[in-house]
Amino acid sequence: MMDWKDVRVQLIDTPPITADMLDPVVSSMARACDAVALVVDLADDDCVSNTETVLEKLAGVKTRLVGTFPEVVDDPGLEFVKTILVANKSADPDAEVRLEFIREAFANRFPIITLDAESGKDVEALRDALYQILDVIRVYTKRPGKPADMENPFTLPRGSTITELAGAVHKEMAETLKSAKLWGTGVTDGQSVPRDHSLHDGDIAELHAG
């Protein structure tokens, strides 16, 4: 688990993908996850072609790693997965040169984060980048007459509504929800909001079931 402020993000390390090895477990994980960190070894002269191989192998099972989702998709069988490229071993003497090749090949496709895992240099930036790519917001809940629970936010896709928050709190809540009060962005404290109200990061909601 990776902590980002008050949120925990699950990271799953996978076996490698090579020209002659793609474990089906790895490709199904890539398809099911919220985002992929594509790790590149800046100490490896073949880092560009190895990375291309990984992308091709996944594309072979209809899994496309992308920096941003395409606007139009003509093949419904294709799975697009948000990805950041993580260029590791930046302290290697030739890392700078290889990074240039990596940028040339991939900067138009993925955000690129450079770091050195061994020394820990720039690892904090990866933490932020991984959280940002998930594109989620944190919403806190409170019970009527009680202070808000500021320890355990619900994380929801950006743009989620009160109804979606209710569904995350409890499956039935999405149906039984009668009204909601909100503290946070764009509302006065405790304002009643409709079910389709869009939530913002840091909002506090009080849900009332019928």
Ligand X SMILES: Nc1nc2c(ncn2[C@@H]2O[C@H](COP(=O)(O)OP(=O)(O)OP(=O)(O)O)[C@@H](O)[C@H]2O)c(=O)[nH]1
Site residues for ligand X per CB under 6 A: 16, 39, 88-89, 116-118
Minimum Å gap between C-beta 7 and ligand X is: 25
Minimum Å gap between C-beta 88 and ligand X is: 5
Nearest of 87, 75, 83 to residue 31 by alpha carbon = 83
Minimum Å gap between C-beta 80 and ligand X is: 24
* Angle subtended at Cα 37 by Cα 135 and Cα 199, rounded to the nearest 5 degrees: 10
Please identify, using beta-carbon distances, which residue of 61 and 117 lies nearer to ligand X: 117
Residue nearest to ligand X (CB): 16
Nearest of 54, 16, 14 to residue 32 by alpha carbon = 14
Burial of 87 (0-12, 13-18, 19+ CB in 10 A): buried
According to DSSP, the residues that pair with 65 across neighbouring strands are 81
Please identify, using beta-carbon distances, which residue of 89 and 98 lies nearer to ligand X: 89
Please identify, using beta-carbon distances, which residue of 123 and 168 lies nearer to ligand X: 123
Please identify, using beta-carbon distances, which residue of 88 and 155 lies nearer to ligand X: 88
Minimum Å gap between C-beta 144 and ligand X is: 49
Do 199 and 186 contact (CB within 8 A), yes or no? no
